[in-house]
């Protein structure tokens, strides 16, 4: 990164934060209503699950592919194309008349959505000074968490009061706005000069990156973090329902989690810049494990909300540090692949964690399933303690 780019972060980071928010808003708008929409089109339970999962099935490997493309082309053009592709996908949802149509649109959306994560994350790292990468990743995480909070909050309202078409068009408009803001970003200056075919270069790059200790911790932690979250969003509604509460209480618990997640991230990123990546990472993983183990113990809403505060604190501590590890342990010319793998594992974590913990809850009971949700986080904690030095930067 040259000195010109280093002088721009104060102007660029607010734009990137807004673009990141719009780029992740579309998927969160769809999460609460996609099963209902599939059912409305005539899909059975099994087909509905397949339709919902198609996004992740396509999105996970595509993140790595587009990450490599970012290293060759830079992030600006691909980010604009990805946002416009997502906007087109949101419009296509309104045209669906059969479950097959919806499956095709979900696949297309999974492909275009794979551009946004790696491009925004690699752009954030490109315009952040090395000594402030934790803070920058805190801001990045805030943008994603804010998209989750807003998307989950207004999705049901738009769907129930205005209908699904208005929801789809609202998401499309927000994505077009994000694409427009992306034109204000400076063109990327660092591009990898990688000979050969993209696919073979990607395989070699992935293998090389996966051998680095800091990246192993980052990748293991993000997968574990979202594997556990997949278990929570699958089993928590059932647990709350069994206690006699309804969807409102589930929404409030997830809102508490999201708000704390947002509040903690910037101070956590600053802490990781000052004290290294290890302390926030192991503290967050430990809190995440503890909060999920005790989550199914209380039977009243106030105690459940208090535990969700701890859970949000855990995630707010983890995300900026492990995101900064990606920047710490990758060179600028391979940053696209590094961030692509990161987002691929984030998507895969939810895609695998939700059904696995759902089956676990069905076999062993919802309470046991929730208690076992952080199992993978225990493994990630072991990796962090073993592989990261006391100052992980």
CATH number at residue 380: 1.20.1250.20
Same domain (yes/no): 333, 357:
yes
Domains in the chain: how many in total?
Answer: 2
Structure confidence at residue 86 (pLDDT): 96
- Please compute, for residue 12, the number of CA atoms within 13 A of its CA located in the half-sphere on the CB side: 22
Structure confidence at residue 195 (pLDDT): 43
- Pull the structure tokens for residue 234: 């699958």
Q: What is this structure's pTM? A: 0.82
Structure confidence at residue 362 (pLDDT): 83
> Where among 125, 154, 189 does a domain terminate?
189
Same domain (yes/no): 178, 260:
no
Same domain (yes/no): 327, 182:
no
Same domain (yes/no): 286, 172:
no
Q: How far is residue 189's CA from residue 4's CA, in Å, rounded to a whole number?
A: 10
Structure confidence at residue 172 (pLDDT): 96
Range(s) of the domain holding residue 279: 202-386
Same domain (yes/no): 101, 152:
yes
> Where among 189, 215, 240 does a domain terminate?
189
Same domain (yes/no): 91, 219:
no
Q: How far is residue 92's CA from residue 86's CA, in Å, rounded to a whole number?
A: 10
Q: Which residues of the chain are modeled with pLDDT < 70?
A: 1-10, 45, 129-131, 188-202, 247, 390-393
Structure confidence at residue 45 (pLDDT): 64
Q: What is the largest CA-CA distance in the chain?
A: 61
């Amino acid at each position: 990164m040259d000195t010109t780019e280093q002088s721009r972060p104060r102007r660029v980071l607010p734009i990137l934060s807004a673009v990141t928010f719009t780029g992740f808003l579309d998927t969160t708008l769809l999460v609460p209503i996609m099963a209902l929409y599939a059912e409305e089109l005539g899909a059975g339970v099994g087909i509905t699950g397949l339709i919902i999962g198609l996004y992740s099935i396509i999105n996970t490997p595509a993140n790595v592919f587009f990450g490599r493309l970012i290293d060759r082309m830079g992030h600006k053009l691909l980010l604009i194309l990805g946002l416009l592709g997502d906007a087109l996908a949101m419009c296509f949802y309104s045209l669906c008349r059969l479950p097959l149509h919806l499956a095709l649109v979900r696949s297309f959306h999974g492909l275009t959505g794979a551009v946004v994560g790696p491009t925004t994350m690699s752009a954030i790292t490109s315009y952040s000074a090395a000594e402030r990468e934790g803070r920058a990743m805190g801001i990045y995480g805030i943008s994603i968490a804010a998209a989750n909070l807003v998307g989950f909050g207004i999705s049901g309202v738009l769907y129930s009061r205005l209908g699904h078409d208005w929801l789809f068009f609202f998401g499309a408009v927000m994505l077009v706005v994000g694409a427009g803001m992306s034109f204000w970003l400076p063109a990327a200056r660092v591009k990898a000069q990688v000979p050969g075919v993209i696919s073979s270069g990607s395989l070699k790059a992935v293998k090389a990156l996966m051998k680095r200790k800091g990246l192993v911790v980052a990748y293991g932690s993000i997968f574990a973090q979202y594997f556990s979250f997949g278990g929570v969003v699958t089993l928590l509604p059932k647990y709350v329902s069994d206690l006699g509460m309804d969807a409102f209480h589930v929404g409030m618990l997830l809102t508490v989690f999201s708000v704390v997640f947002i509040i903690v991230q910037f101070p956590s990123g600053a802490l990781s810049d000052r004290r290294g990546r290890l302390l926030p990472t192991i503290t967050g993983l430990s809190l995440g494990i503890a909060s999920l183990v005790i989550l199914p113990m209380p039977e009243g809403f106030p105690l459940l909300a208090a535990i969700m505060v701890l859970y949000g604190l855990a995630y707010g501590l983890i995300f900026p540090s492990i995101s900064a590890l990606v920047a710490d342990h990758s060179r600028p010319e391979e940053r696209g692949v590094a961030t692509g793998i990161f987002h691929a594992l984030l998507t895969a974590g939810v895609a695998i964690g939700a059904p696995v913990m759902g089956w676990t809850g069905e076999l062993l009971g919802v309470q046991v399933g929730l208690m076992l949700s952080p199992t993978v986080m225990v493994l990630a904690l072991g990796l962090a303690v073993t592989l990261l030095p006391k100052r992980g930067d």
